[in-house]
Amino acid sequence: MPAGFSFPVGDTWSVGFPAPGSVGAVTQFAGTQTFAATGQDGNPPGTLESYTIGANGVMTGAFSNGLSKAFGQVALATFSNPGGLSDQGNLMYSLTPNSGQAQIGTPGTGGRGTLLGGALESSNVDLASQLTDLIVAQEAYQANTKVVATTSQVLQSLVNMP
C-alpha cells in the first residue's frame, strides 16, 4: 500500500483468516510469506467518462470500467416572493428580505419543477413577430421625423413672412 494512503470514510473491510495449522493458514515462520489476496468483491478501477442528470436531479456517471453510479443530486430552491429577488446580472439572483428565505429541496417536490438533462433551453421570443414589430416601429419613426421636419419648415416660413 502506498505511503499516505487512506481508506474512504465508510468503507467496510472484512478479513477472514483460516484457523492456525489448517490448509491455507497464514504462517510467519522463517520462510516465505503465505498471505495473499485470493479474491475481491469490488470492481476494477475506472474513470468518469460521461454523466447524465435525471428529471429528479440525480447525477449518474458512466465510468470506463462499464459501471454507472449515482454520485450527486441537484437541489432547487423556491421563494415565497420570487419577484423580490435581486437581479445580479448574467441570470444570477440573490435573496433579499422581500424575497423570503429559500426553501431548498429536490426537483419535482414542493412545487419545484423537474429537470431536463442534456437539453438546451430554446428562446421564448418569436423572432419573426419581433422583426415585423421592429420594421413597423422604424417606419413610424421615419414618418414622425418627416412630420416634425415639415412642421418646422412651415413654422419657419410663417416667421419669415413680411
Provide mean pLDDT across the span 72-100: 91
pLDDT of amino acid 29: 63
- At 118, the pLDDT band (50, 70, 90 cuts) reads confident
Q: How far apart, in Å, are the Cα atoms of 31 and each of 17, 20, 27, 35, 42?
A: 19, 16, 9, 12, 31
Q: What is the predicted pLDDT for the residue at 5?
A: 58
Please tell me the distance from the alpha carbon of residue 135 to that of residue 18, in angstroms, as a whole number: 88
Across 4-18, 76-90, 148-162, which has the greatest mean pLDDT?
A: 76-90
What ranges do the domains of the chain cover?
48-105, 126-156
> Could you tell me the end-to-end alpha-carbon distance of the chain, in angstroms, rounded to an integer?
109
Residue 150's φ and ψ, nearest 5 degrees, are -65, -45
CA dist 22 and 30 (Å) reads 18
Taking only the tens place, the pLDDT of each residue in 39-58 is 666 777 788 899 998 888 89
Q: Kindly report, residue by residue over 26-38, the tens digit of the pLDDT.
A: 666 666 655 666 6
For 78, the 3-state DSSP assignment is strand
- Within the chain, residue ranges assigned H as helices are 127-159
Q: At residue 81, what is the residue type?
A: N
Long-range pairs, 57-62, Cβ under 8 A, ≥24 = 57/106, 57/107, 57/115
The reply to whether the predicted model has a pTM over 0.85 is no
